Amino acid sequence: MDLQAGEIVTVTRKWSDTWYYGYTNERVGRFPAKYVTDDLSRIVYVRKRPPYSRFYVRARYDYTPAAEKRMTLIKNEIIEILWILSGNWYEGRSLDGKRKGSVPVTFVREIRNGHDDW
């Protein structure tokens, strides 16, 4: 992700020892950890968590992942979203805490004010 000096970036997760994953405005992606700081003395300011840090979604469809780090979904189950990975993926956890992994955004609908308006 391209960053500009003075830009505010929300870090959603640490990708590796040298890379973060996060978002700013409409952009989402990875960027070098050395480009950010909490004290405004370097290139960009980083907020550690998004303002809504966690939210809930309901699975619209069953989903059986092909990749190991992705989470199986059961239609109509509620999932806690821990952070936004990209415009297409969330990191989520089942309410019982037994399953955790990447969740495709198109397979879920956000629950707002206790309703998901299906």
Among 106, 101, 103, smallest CA distance to 68 is for 101
- Per-residue confidence (pLDDT) for residue 46, from 0 to 100: 47
Mean pLDDT over residues 6-12, rounded? 74
Average pLDDT, the chain: 78
* CB-based contact 25:40 (threshold 8 Å): no
pLDDT at site 113? 65
Pairing outcome for strands 89-94 and 78-84: antiparallel
What is the average pLDDT across 13-31?
A: 79
Using one digit for the tens of pLDDT, what is the confidence trace for 44-88?
444 444 434 578 999 999 999 998 889 999 999 999 988 777 767
pTM of structure: 0.55
